Amino acid sequence: MPNYKAPLDDMRFVLNEVLDVSQLSKFEGYENADTDTVNSMLGMVAQFSEEVLAPLNMVGDAEGCTYDRATKSVKTPNGFKEAYQQFCENGLTAVTCDEKYGGLSMPVTVGTALGEMYCSANLAFGMYPGLSHGAYNALAEYGSDELKEEYLHKLTSGEWTGTMCLTEPGAGTDLGLIKTKAEEQGDGSYNITGTKIFISAGEHDLAGNIVHLVLAKIDAPDTPEGIKGISLFAVPKHLPDAQGNPGDRNPAFCERLEEKMGIHGNSTCEMSFEGAKGFLIGEKHKGMKAMFVMMNEARLGVGLQGLGLSEVAYQNALTYAQDRKQGAKIDEKAAKGTAPESTTIIKHPDVRRELLSIKSQTEGARMLAYWTAMQLDISHKHPDEKARNEAKKVLDFMTPIVKAHFTDNAVDNTNSAIQVFGGHGYIKEHGMEQFNRDDRITRLYEGTNGIQPLDLLCRKVMMQKLMPSYLKPVEADIKAAKKSGVPSELTRPVEQAARKLKSATRRLQMKGAMGKMKGDMGPTMREAAGMATDYLKLASLVSMGHMWVKMVDVAQQRLDENAENKDFYETKIKTARFYMDKIMPQMHTYDAAMKSGVKSLVDIAEEHFAHNQGTVAEKPRQKPQPPAKKKAIWPF
Which residues are designated catalytic? 446
- Output phi, psi for 499, to 5 deg: -60, -45
**Closer by beta carbon to its own copies, 144 or else 223:** 223
Task: Find the largest Cα–Cα distance for the chain.
Answer: 89
DSSP string over 453-514: HHIIIIIIIIIS--HHHHHHHHHHHHHHHHHTT--GGGTHHHHHHHHHHHHHHHHHHHHHHH
Non-local (6+) Cβ contacts of 174 within 8 A are none
Residue 240, preceding peptide bond in cis (omega within 30° of 0): no
**Closer by beta carbon to its own copies, 69 or else 631:** 631
**Closer by beta carbon to its own copies, 66 or else 173:** 173
Task: Find the shortest distance in angstroms from Cβ 275 to its own copies.
Answer: 26
Task: Find the shortest distance in angstroms from Cβ 160 to its own copies.
Answer: 26
Q: Is 212 helix (H, G, I), strand (E, B) or coil?
A: strand
- What stretches of 519-565 show up as alpha helix (H) in DSSP? 522-560
Q: How far is CA 36 from CA 9, 41, 116, in A?
A: 15, 8, 20
**Closer by beta carbon to its own copies, 69 or else 599:** 599
| Amino acid sitting at position 153 | H
Helix (H) / strand (E) containing 278: strand 268-281
Nearest in space to 176 (alpha carbons), one of 214, 133, 228 = 228
d(Cα 481, Cα 176) in Å, to the nearest integer? 46
Q: How far is CA 470 from CA 307, 341, 368, 493, in A?
A: 22, 53, 13, 18
How far, rounded to the nearest angstrom, does the alpha carbon of residue 24 sit from its chain's CA centroid?
24
Q: Is 140 helix (H, G, I), strand (E, B) or coil?
A: helix
**Closer by beta carbon to its own copies, 189 or else 556:** 556
Helix (H) / strand (E) containing 190: strand 189-200
**Closer by beta carbon to its own copies, 71 or else 612:** 612
Task: Find the shortest distance in angstroms from Cβ 151 to its own copies.
Answer: 27
Nearest in space to 376 (alpha carbons), one of 38, 307, 368 = 368
Task: Find the shortest distance in angstroms from Cβ 419 to its own copies.
Answer: 6
**Closer by beta carbon to its own copies, 98 or else 332:** 332
**Alpha-carbon torsion (428, 431, 435, 438), positive or negative:** positive
Nearest in space to 400 (alpha carbons), one of 450, 438, 353 = 450
Task: Find the shortest distance in angstroms from Cβ 584 to its own copies.
Answer: 8
Task: Find the shortest distance in angstroms from Cβ 482 to its own copies.
Answer: 13
**Closer by beta carbon to its own copies, 139 or else 395:** 395
**Closer by beta carbon to its own copies, 39 or else 144:** 39
Task: Find the shortest distance in angstroms from Cβ 355 to its own copies.
Answer: 6
Nearest in space to 262 (alpha carbons), one of 451, 58, 68 = 58
Task: Find the shortest distance in angstroms from Cβ 436 to its own copies.
Answer: 7
C-beta separation of 121 from 95 below 8 A: no
Task: Find the shortest distance in angstroms from Cβ 451 to its own copies.
Answer: 8
